């Protein structure tokens, strides 16, 4: 409700003062129905919940047959998730105005919220029949919104389309349809309706941004960038569009452009650790290790709990043979998040390089406890024991790895080789045969460790290459 004239505004101000005076003095004044409705609407608009509740209950007490007041109170109860109270109030209102289609829609909305979808749909159909003028699209719009609120997007679309039959160019409805189609992963139609919306609202940054998201999901990456660029042309400081555009550029392997876009983002917010991290990742993809290191460190400077940045920094330092610094970095990552297998594997690798054998061993064990399907880690741990002449331990490790990854040929070849070296030829032959059966081309793994018994290998290869 709007108040255009000075007289209306003055009257409303006086009524509000009078109502609040009544509350303070704990007395009772009379307000005619129009005045109390305006007071209620004022408090509702201003989100003054306590005064709104007092005003509407007082108004209903003075005007028990006011359908508008009672409907407004029902809407308030729905917003407060007080659905049973709302239903009870609606039953009273229905007895006053049984042909009011909006009352039926409110019944439907409540039953949707409490999960009785059959009753909800029945009341919605009653609302449509009761609506005196079906050229008014309100009834269909209200029903559509109800279904959208409970994530029943296909039903929402059905009623939004009925709304469009009446109001062909309703931009809000076009936008809502596009959103619902996105939620149902019907990206083609979502794109169509966002474009129809943009035909009317060409300067809507939000719509261009949303279109970019859907185009990205539909794997139209270049078009997604174009949509984000339109959003940024309208609003250059739209940081979400800059961020998403950067992600698409990274996805396309256009790392230089991604870095430029992320640098623009940093002009808006210099304290976002993740942005520095993404720049570092982009440099890493281009094998610009020094720049990557710099930006991982900047990411950590902003947020020392960025464990992924600590992990990546450890990897780079290890590549540069700065093993002690690499170890410090991975320890920092683990101090923040110690339940990630790859962090423990990095700890094993770095400790091994520093001859911290006990710590390397514990790190291997922790890695495999967290993720038993890391074949390379099983093999690395077995090699670690094998190199220290603990061949039986290495075999035991590989057997554990095989039990978790029996379809992997590499473990079979390692097991076969170590078993042959332990003079357990019968068992070795079984694992060798399994490896060849799964992938004969990886026989080189076995040959590298145990280059003997070529006659047996040739016979098995002939068997599985036929």
pLDDT-derived band of residue 141, with 50, 70 and 90 as boundaries? very high
CA 378 – CA 370 distance, rounded (Å) = 12
Least confident of 16-30, 121-135, 260-274, 438-452: 121-135
* CA distance linking residue 434 with residue 466, whole number of Å: 16
Task: Give the number of other CB atoms < 10 A from CB of residue 174.
Answer: 25
When mean pLDDT is compared across 166-170, 236-240, 427-431, the lowest value belongs to 166-170
Percent of the chain with pLDDT over 70: 94
Q: What is the pLDDT of residue 280?
A: 98
Assess if CATH 1.10.3720 describes domain 377-398+409-466: no
For the segment 130-139, the average pLDDT, to the nearest whole number, is: 71
Give the model confidence (pLDDT) of 402-452 as tens digits. 999 999 999 999 999 999 999 998 899 899 999 989 998 898 999 888 886
Q: What angle do CA 343, 344, 347 make, to 5 degrees?
A: 90
Report the pLDDT value the prediction gives residue 461, as an integer from 0 to 100: 60
Burial class of 428 by CB neighbour count within 10 A (0 to 12, 13 to 18, 19+): buried
Give the span between the Cα atoms of 440 and 460, in whole angstroms: 9
Highest mean pLDDT among 28-32, 239-243, 453-457: 239-243
132-171 burial string, b = 16+ CB within 10 Å, else e? eeeeebebbbbbbbbbbeeebbebbbebbebbbebeeebb
Residue that wins the pLDDT comparison between 454 and 172: 172
pLDDT at 398 over 90: yes
Q: For the residues 328-333, what does the mean pLDDT come to?
A: 98
pLDDT in tens, 54-77: 999 999 999 998 898 999 999 999
Name which residue leads in pLDDT, 460 or 153: 153
The confidence score (pLDDT) of residue 2 equals 47
Where in the chain are the domains?
A: 377-398+409-466
CB neighbour class for 311 (10 Å; exposed up to 12, middle 13-18, buried from 19): buried
Round to whole Å and give the CA distance between 277 and 344.
21
Mean pLDDT of the chain: 92
Q: How far apart are CA 92 and CA 79, in angstroms?
A: 19
- Specify the pLDDT at position 465: 56
Burial class (CB in 10 A: 0-12, 13-18, 19+), 393: middle
Among 4-13, 78-87, 366-375, name the one with the lowest average pLDDT: 4-13
Tens digit of each residue's pLDDT (9 = 90 or more) over 262-275? 999 999 999 999 99
Q: According to the model, what pLDDT value does residue 166 have?
A: 85
Residue 7 banded pLDDT, cuts 50, 70, 90: low
Nearest Cα residue to 19 out of 57, 65, 51: 51
pLDDT value for 134: 54
pLDDT value, residue 3:
46
Give the confidence band of 188 by pLDDT, cuts at 50, 70, 90.
Answer: very high
């Amino acid at each position: 409700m709007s108040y255009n004239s000075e007289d209306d505004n003055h009257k409303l101000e006086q009524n509000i003062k009078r109502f609040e005076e009544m509350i303070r003095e704990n007395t009772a004044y009379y307000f005619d129905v129009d005045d109390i409705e305006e007071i209620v609407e004022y408090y509702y608009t201003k989100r003054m919940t306590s005064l709104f509740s007092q005003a509407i209950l007082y108004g209903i007490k003075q005007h028990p047959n006011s359908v508008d007041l009672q409907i407004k109170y029902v809407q308030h109860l729905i917003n407060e998730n007080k659905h049973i109270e709302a239903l009870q109030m609606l039953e009273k209102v229905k007895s006053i105005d049984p042909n009011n289609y909006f009352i039926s829609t409110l019944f439907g909305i409540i039953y949707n919220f409490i999960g009785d979808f059959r009753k909800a749909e029945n009341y919605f159909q009653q609302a449509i029949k009761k609506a005196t003028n079906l050229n008014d699209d309100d009834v269909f719009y209200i029903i559509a919104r109800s279904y959208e609120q409970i994530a029943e997007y296909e039903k929402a679309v059905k009623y939004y389309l009925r709304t469009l039959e009446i109001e062909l160019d309703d931009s809000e409805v076009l936008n809502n349809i596009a959103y619902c189609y996105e939620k149902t992963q019907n990206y083609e139609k979502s794109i169509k309706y966002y474009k129809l919306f943009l035909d009317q609202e060409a300067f809507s940054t939000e719509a261009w941004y949303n279109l970019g998201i859907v185009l990205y999901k539909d794997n139209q990456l270049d078009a997604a960038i174009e949509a984000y660029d339109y959003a940024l042309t309208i609003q250059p400081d739209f940081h979400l569009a800059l961020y998403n555009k950067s992600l698409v550029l990274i996805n396309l392997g256009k790392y230089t452009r991604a870095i430029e876009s992320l640098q623009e983002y940093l002009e808006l917010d210099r304290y976002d650790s993740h942005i520095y991290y993404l720049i570092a990742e982009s440099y890493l993809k281009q094998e610009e290790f020094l720049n990557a290191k710099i930006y991982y460190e900047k990411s950590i400077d902003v947020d020392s709990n960025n464990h992924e940045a600590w992990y990546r920094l450890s990897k780079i330092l290890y590549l540069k043979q700065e093993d002690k610094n690499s170890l410090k970095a991975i320890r920092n990552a683990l101090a923040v998040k110690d339940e990630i297998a790859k962090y423990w594997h990095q700890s094993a690798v770095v400790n091994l390089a520093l001859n911290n054998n006990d710590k390397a061993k514990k790190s291997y064990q922790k890695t495999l406890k967290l993720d038993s399907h890391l074949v390379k880690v099983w093999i690395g741990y077995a090699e670690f024991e094998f190199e220290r002449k603990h061949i039986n331990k290495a075999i035991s490790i590989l057997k554990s790895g095989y039990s978790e990854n029996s379809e992997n040929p590499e473990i079979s070849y390692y097991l076969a080789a170590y078993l042959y070296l332990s003079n357990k030829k019968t068992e070795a032959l079984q694992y060798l045969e399994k490896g060849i059966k799964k992938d004969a081309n990886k026989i080189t793994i076995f040959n590298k460790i145990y280059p003997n018994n070529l006659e047996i290998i040739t016979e098995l290869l002939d068997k599985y290459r036929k």
